[in-house]
Chains A and B, each alone.
Chain A
Amino acid sequence: MKLHIAVALAGMAFTGIALAGPTEDLARTCNACHGVNGVSVGPSMPSIGGLPEAHLKNVMLQWKTDERYSATMGRHFKGYTEAELSALATYYSKLPYVPTVQKADDKIMAKGKEATDRCETCHGATGGEPDDAETPKLNGQWAQYLELELMKYRNDAVKMPHKKMRNNAKKLADEDVAAVAEFYAAQPK
């Protein structure tokens, strides 16, 4: 028995994720859509590794209880307990945030910068310095994902509970939405 424990600990130290417990086993299923370690390689799907814990918990629990609109995710999360979702939020928040820097041309960058003036107080100038733990990072997030997310906030027919964010999204001019998304997506930090 003693030997078994020692060996188990050694393996843990060396092999990292091998048999690391239910949260990681569950997180492995997310990789099919969000990438290994929550770093997505599909532009419509968000990277989720390294997002703030409070934000992750908010969205995941709101989906479970149907307080928040989603196209797909809500149907997944009704299958997990609150404790499981909280543990997942903690797990992903501890992974490094890996921005995927997507270059955009100067004109779009200038347009994006101007249109994100009112966003700065909460998201920081580049989307990389959120002012509180409930605000996600936007820098190096996939532009397409951000644009689709803004589309949700701008549509009053679906539930998006964060009123201030919704009001801000609705104030954007139609033609600025894509530029805003590309502006944040281009930021390394």
Chain B
Amino acid sequence: MSFNRRDFIKTVASTSVIVPLAACAAPSGGKSGSGKARLVVVGGGFGGATAAKYLKMMDAGLDVTLVERNKQFVSCPLSNEVISGHGKYEGLLAGYDGLMKRGVNVVFDDATAVDPASKSVKLKSGTSLKYDFLVLSPGIDFNYAGIEGYSEALANTTHPHAYKAGPQTLALKKQLEGMKDGQTFVITVPPGPFRCPPGPYERASQVANYFKHHGMNKSKVIIADANDSFSKKGLFEQAWKRHYPGMIEWVAGAAGGKVVKFDAKTNTASSDFNDYKGDVVNIIPPHHAGMIAKSTGLTNDKGWCSVDMLTMESTVHKDIYVVGDSTVHGELPVYGAPKSAHMANTQAKVAVGAIIAKINGVPAPEPFFVNTCYSIAETDWGFSVVHIYRAKEGKLVYDTKAGGISPVNMADESALKMQRKLESEYCIGWFKNIMADAFA
């Protein structure tokens, strides 16, 4: 840092007292964190990359280090469309040059341990990073033991879950492309919460879409679900009826959909009541918070990190902020606080605001959380769910007057078609902007 920020502040401070205080709204203003606060962000996905970028954008003087194990990020959003052939794999990729240009120190390494007492993060390479504030956004990891007979080794070879985008996305795509008319594609859904509540059902739609457009009208998708309902259910069921009649079968948990066992040799997933034999079986294993959050002791008995709803600071260790899929955000119902890229984005910005306020010794600003999850069920057939949250009396409240799902029915057929077409296009526009918001 060639420029001494503290001297600058002294100079400006002594010359700017004539500016009336009212000109800047309290708690506005903030001294620069230059040479003071060391920020470490672990995980360069939707939450972590956004946090690193906004820390730098809101105070260029902060010392920000991002630790990410992969040189290239692969987006889960729109990966279902890659599986069906509607999107290109290259379109899911992002690098870290944008963040480096903004002055973020990007370290490609694995964070192996966090010591909240000495405030340091240990890396696989052996180095250790000291922090004043730590942001963790490690996404999810899987509890393979939750499905007897399934394993990480199977996921990486013959039975990709493709629930972390990457090589497994392409492997699943290849399996779909190898199917013949009349064959069955089974998707098993773990108990909630899991990342992207509409994700498995969007995937089922995209698989059916592939069947439909490749003359495989006798093929079927079976969704064996551990849960008794799902996100945007009315919208998905309408889409399935219109576009893929008879092709997609959903089995609720109460009807024996909860898969607990898998036999890779016979390609059979089983619940306590039913067997689901498929030609392709896509097991989505149960998840928990990213391993590093777990090993740091930040998780509750269900495997997720509980945070102060208004700042995203861990309720276990102070000065550690957890954002993204790893968190349970307040006491909202499972579908009231979805694990989505948009949530990770909005939570990251709130955490950044709270951290900068803390550095400056002022109260955390009012947090604003917004979520929108778009899904595409067929070409020109998209829909969404919106959540708007407000802080009320120290708690996060889901505003029931706002948000909600896209209209299922509209008085006019041409209006309904337009609504679905618009949201299928807005989905792509959202994706481009949210990727840029994190990585550019």
Contact = CB atoms under 8 A, between A and B. Distances in A.
Nearest to B425: A44
B27 A19 contact: yes
A25 B16 contact: no
Contacts of A71: 406, 419, 422-423, 426
A116 interface: no
Nearest to B357: A19
A35 interface: yes
Nearest to B57: A17
Contact of B360 (A5, A8, A78): A8
A19 B372 CA distance: 25
B332 interface: no
Contact of A29 (B17, B57, B368, B406): B368
Interface stretch (A89-97, A130-138, A152-160): A152-160
Given A28-B349, A32-B437, A44-B426, A8 B24 contact: yes
A31 B433 contact: yes
A17 B58 contact: yes
Contacts of B254: none
Contact of B59 (A5, A18, A28): A18
B432 A11 contact: no
Interface stretch (B29-37, B174-182, B241-249, B255-263): B29-37
A32 B433 contact: yes
Nearest to A36: B437
Contact of B19 (A9, A17, A18): A9
A78 B398 CA distance: 12
A45 B425 CA distance: 9
B12 interface: yes
Contact of B426 (A19, A72, A152): A72
B104 interface: no
B16 A20 contact: no
B410 to A, nearest CB: 8
B411 interface: yes
A77 B402 CA distance: 7
Interface in B1-52: 5, 8-9, 12-14, 16-17, 19, 21, 24-25, 27-32
Contacts of B27: 19
Nearest to B54: A28
Interface in B336-350: 342, 345-346, 349
Interface string A138-163: 00000011001001100101100000
A45 B426 CA distance: 6
B431 A42 contact: yes
Interface string B412-436: 1011001101110110111111101
Interface in B103-150: none
Interface string A115-139: 0000000000000000000000000
A35 B430 CA distance: 9
Contacts of B16: 6, 9-10, 13
**Of B54, B384, B386, B390, which is in contact with the most chain A CB atoms at under 10 Å from its CB?**
B386
B399 interface: yes
B402 A41 contact: no
Going nearest first, the 6 A-B pairs with the smallest beta carbon separation are A8-B29, A79-B402, A79-B388, A42-B429, A44-B429, A42-B432
14 contacts: A8-B29, A9-B19, A9-B29, A15-B30, A19-B27, A25-B368, A32-B437, A33-B430, A35-B433, A43-B428, A45-B426, A79-B390, A79-B402, A144-B425
Interface of A: 4-15, 17-22, 25-26, 28-29, 31-36, 40-45, 71-72, 75-80, 144-145, 148, 151-152, 155, 157-158
